[in-house]
Structure 1
């Protein structure tokens, strides 16, 4: 009774179509087979099983009790085959939980506003986003995708550049009215300069004068671990800060902040990368999310 799987499945399909259509000729037209080919298939099945499945007359086609049982089994098996193929095909489709790590400022201002459209494009992906300035370990499985700023350390992870940002020195009109507007970088030495608290050799801001780049050490009364906090402090008139353009562009446009010392801006650009575990087995949900970010953030 052993037969190749594809032939057995084809026989089940033919029998199910015959039962649905009610005649050999109609089934043949539906399947692209001749009535004689349909008849030979039924004869082969009945011979193998040793029972009659169909009673054929010139006017009607009737299923025997065995035929009814065989039809039920055929429909279940064909449904299972369809489901198995769907499951296998879905393994490469974008679906499942996607864990994303982004910095507080860039995440809130630039990444989160994009998630609504992404969710509409990919409704089967559950985006699990965490905003933190703590560096998560993607290689250890703490996130599927992490958004990182600046130069990257050597790693077995894959990195894709998804954008970049320049930096500007800014202060509020209120602060400048009280403390005066710096005209050259050295004037900053008499101002309250709000800085990042990341580990670095010294709190320096870079400048360019007469084609030469140099750095100036600045001091202030407050340090923070994210640009959004520094930008808000500047808006509140606490001091002067130097942060990524993406975090202050709206405040500058609204007049809440004023760019300073633009003639001395060295034009340094900080790259933004998406970090992830790459390779041939990268989940589709990771690939489409990174493609989406790269397209929107550029």
Structure 2
């Protein structure tokens, strides 16, 4: 039997094909071409002597043998990861760290700090993915993610990096054309821009003047995928947006965006956490070094 077979690598690619539902998505995560992923899975099937996937133009489906192999492969990969973490726990941080962060946090905080972090830990490298969509760390094989908002995943360990009020803002050009809303009810005739992904809190809460809260749902003519995009639309005068104050602090200070209905702001906070998957074993020195660095240096 050939000695150059990377069995764990084959398993990881196969698991990604199953979890991502196709060769193209798995190829992007694995930094391979779709044809290379397809050939790898075919080679794995030939070596095992069984078909693992039923292929069609519409979808991939696990065979019974494929389902059994997938279950065992995920357990083996988890064991390998645990063994690596245990071995690295007492060593100097080294190797690649996969980090997922929101677009604004990544651009404004994370990327500017990376040179100092990598200078402190020269044997490490960092693989950064920026998206405002909440990803599953286990599925995406991410080591650390930066989450803005309530924490709901009990599997994750969270280290707080800061917090920020949520505010509604609009550009002076938008206010000049459409007027400044004075009450939450007046917002109904305004363009309230929103995100295209599901958020834990979708509505915009305001004090109702009697000690209660009234919630206004966003309803606008544009949907966006991240905080930087929605800020750009607000700056262009398209409509009102509700975001964490730290995302628009500079623009408000420069007068490029104007707070709206601040006297009725309930003062709800968006907390920012660095999160990672917890477990019974020791924490990887790579993760510990990175999270400790963020706690030490991030000022929101």
The normalised TM-score by structure 1 is: 0.65
Please give the alpha-carbon distance, in whole angstroms, between the structure 1 residues aligned to 2:140 and 2:223: 31
Show the counterpart of 2:220. Answer: 220
Q: 1:122 to 1:243 in 2, by over 3 A?
A: same
Q: Which has the larger radius of gyration?
A: 1
Q: 1:218 to 1:282 in 2, by over 3 A?
A: closer
Instruction: Check conservation: 1:182, 1:260, Cα contact below 8 A.
Output: yes
Show the counterpart of 1:168. Answer: 167
Shift of 1:203: 4.9
Show the counterpart of 1:178. Answer: 177
Shift of 1:172: 0.7
What SS does the aligned partner of 1:193 have? coil
For structure 2, the residue ranges without an aligned partner over 5 or more in a row are 1-86
Show the counterpart of 1:112. Answer: 111
Q: CA RMSD in A?
A: 2.3
1:127 aligns with 2:126: yes
Shift of 1:115: 1.2
What SS does the aligned partner of 2:215 have? strand
Show the counterpart of 1:192. Answer: 191
Q: 1:283 to 1:159 in 2, by over 3 A?
A: same
Instruction: Check conservation: 1:166, 1:267, Cα contact below 8 A.
Output: yes
Listed one character per residue, the Cα deviations across residues 222-269 of structure 1 (whole Å, up to 9, x for unaligned) are: 121212111110100111111111211111111111111110111111
Shift of 1:208: 1.2
Residue-pair matches, total: 211
Q: 1:200 to 1:96 in 2, by over 3 A?
A: closer
Show the counterpart of 1:27. Answer: none
Please give the alpha-carbon distance, in whole angstroms, between the structure 2 residues aligned to 1:90 and 1:219: 49
Q: 1:135 to 1:193 in 2, by over 3 A?
A: closer
The normalised TM-score by structure 2 is: 0.64
Shift of 1:282: 1.4
Q: 1:201 to 1:271 in 2, by over 3 A?
A: closer
Instruction: Check conservation: 1:202, 1:217, Cα contact below 8 A.
Output: no
Show the counterpart of 1:286. Answer: 287
Shift of 1:200: 5.7
Please give the alpha-carbon distance, in whole angstroms, between the structure 1 residues aligned to 2:161 and 2:201: 29
Show the counterpart of 1:96. Answer: 95
